[in-house]
Structures are given as structure tokens and as C-alpha cells.
Amino acid sequence: MIEVANLSKRFDTLTVLKDINLSVRAKEIVVLLGPSGSGKSTLLRCLNGLEEADAGSIRVGSVLLDSSMTGSAKKNAIRALRGLTGMVFQSFNLFPHLTALENVITAPVTVKNMPKPQAIELAESLLSKVGLAEKKHEYPSRLSGGQQQRVAIARALAMQPQIMLFDEPTSALDPELTGEVLLVMRQLAEEGMTMIVVTHEMKFAQEVANRVIFMSEGIIQEEGAPEHFFAQPQTERARKFLRQMA
């Protein structure tokens, strides 16, 4: 489903991703762990075309974005990547002047030209799915952080992506609101959504991930099944990270 080959990314003189190679199978749940500044967000942003890599390639489904591409071929590949990947950020990023329902229908209507009645029907079913059917006419400011993040998940799902990318989706939430967001993510995983999740929720990683990838300093330091990674991390860097998380 996803194939990343020799991906590198620099910001000025700082190399943030160093020759990343990664494949993700359909329906796989990959949890991406690593200390702050290790390049996790940059990797997710490259996967959905928010950042451009300096070298290497990304294939998602049948869409290939290679760093050697230029002009309209590149533009089309980036647009296609965005359509295939849904992204959920730490800071929900809802439109504050739109209701929950309006937040969810905006992209299908404006980007996909979906007829409004159909978009509303889709949005209502997605808001029920994340447990917010009765909040559809509320504005974000009247919703809790956990509810706002669940609207953000429904909004990403409304574009019917093949892959969901989550960048620390619960890091801005009070602990009592984290569970409701993780529950929605578990349900998505059970339904067979392909997901890459950056999180510090170790319990979620242990229980939901098929594979854990540990990054530091722009490199994939190790990866493996969660039962192996958590029981026997191979690198000192990962052991130190896990001690700090405990």
C-alpha cells in the first residue's frame, strides 16, 4: 500500500530524514515512535504531500511521487497523494466558524464536487461513527478537545482515504479525553483501515500496532512486532526512550 524508498529531507543545513526505506501493507497498523525532533512529523508530512522530499520516492497505491519529478507530473502526483491519505494533527485544526457537520462536508463538496445532499449524508454517518451524531450542529468552541478531535477524524474520513496518518492525535488532550479518541482509532483499525500513527500512547502501540517503528535522528533505528520491540529493544537509543516513557 505504501512504499517509501531512499527518502531524504533537509531543512537548510539540517538533514531531518536520512535515506528512509519503509513499506506498509494494506490494513497494517504501524506505530511510529521516537524522541522529539527525530523526524516523525516530517515523514508523515512527506507521505501526504505537505512536505517535498529532496531525494527518494513515495508510492501510495498506484501513485508515485519521485523527487526527480517536475512540473505538472509532480503537481498531479502530490494532489493524488493528498486524496489517498487522510491526516489528523495534534491540534485538531477545525474551521472555527463552521459547525461539526459543515467541517466534515467542506472537502468532499469543494475538492471532490460531491453533491451537497450526498456529502451531508456521508458526514452524518461519519459523525455517528465517531459518536457525535447529536453534536452535528455545534461549533468547535462548544465541543471538548476529544470531541473536536473526533470531528477531525470524521473530516479526514470524508475524503474516503486509503490510508490514515495520525500525528500525535491525543497529545493535546487531557488524559480523560484521550480514551475516546483512541477508541475511535481502534475501531478504524478493526475495520481494516491502513494506519500510520505517531503517538506516545504505549498501551495503544502494544495493543493495536502490527508493527512498531522506532526513529531517532532521521533514521529508522529499529522496527518489529510490538511484543518484540517492547520486550527486547535492540538499540540503546530505544531502551533509553522506553525508560523515559515508562
Q: Which is nearer to ligand ADP, 38 or 103 (CB)?
A: 38
Going residue by residue from 145 to 184, which x/- string records binding to Mg ion, judged by CB under 5 A?
----------------------------------------
CA angle 206, 179, 103 (to 5 degrees): 115
Q: Tell me the window of 37-45, 63-71, 96-104, 225-233 that interacts with Mg ion (CB under 5 A).
A: 37-45
Q: Which is nearer to Mg ion, 107 or 163 (CB)?
A: 163
Q: Which is nearer to ligand ADP, 39 or 86 (CB)?
A: 39
Q: Which is nearer to Mg ion, 16 or 122 (CB)?
A: 16
DSSP string, 65-130: EETT--HHHHHHHHHHHHHHEEEE-SS----TTS-HHHHHHHHHHHHS---HHHHHHHHHHHHHHT
Give the one entry of Mg ion, ligand ADP, none that residue 244 binds, where binding means its C-beta sits below a cut-off of 5 to 8 angstroms depending on kind: none
Rounded to the nearest angstrom, the gap between the alpha carbon of residue 127 and the centroid of all alpha carbons in its chain is 19
**Which residues, 181 to 240, sit near ligand ADP by CB under 6 A?**
none
Q: Which is nearer to ligand ADP, 18 or 129 (CB)?
A: 18
C-beta of residue 166 within 8 angstroms of C-beta of residue 91: no
Check binding of 86 to ligand ADP (CB under 6 A). no
Check binding of 41 to Mg ion (CB under 5 A). yes
> Of 54, 48, 73, 74, which Cα lies nearest the Cα of 6?
54
Q: Which is nearer to ligand ADP, 107 or 198 (CB)?
A: 198
Give the one entry of Mg ion, ligand ADP, none that residue 96 binds, where binding means its C-beta sits below a cut-off of 5 to 8 angstroms depending on kind: none
CB burial string 17-40: b at 16+ within 10 A, e below: bbebebebeeebbbbbbbeeebbb
Torsion of CA 56, 59, 64, 65, to 10 degrees: -40
Check binding of 194 to Mg ion (CB under 5 A). no
**Which residues, 17 to 46, sit near ligand ADP by CB under 6 A?**
34, 36-42
Joined together, the cell numbers standing for residue 103 give 467541517
C-beta of residue 127 within 8 angstroms of C-beta of residue 136: yes
Could you tell me the smallest distance in angstroms from the CB atom of residue 101 to Mg ion?
A: 30
Q: Which residues bind Mg ion (CB under 5 A)?
A: 41
Q: Which residues bind ligand ADP (CB under 6 A)?
A: 11, 14, 16, 34, 36-42
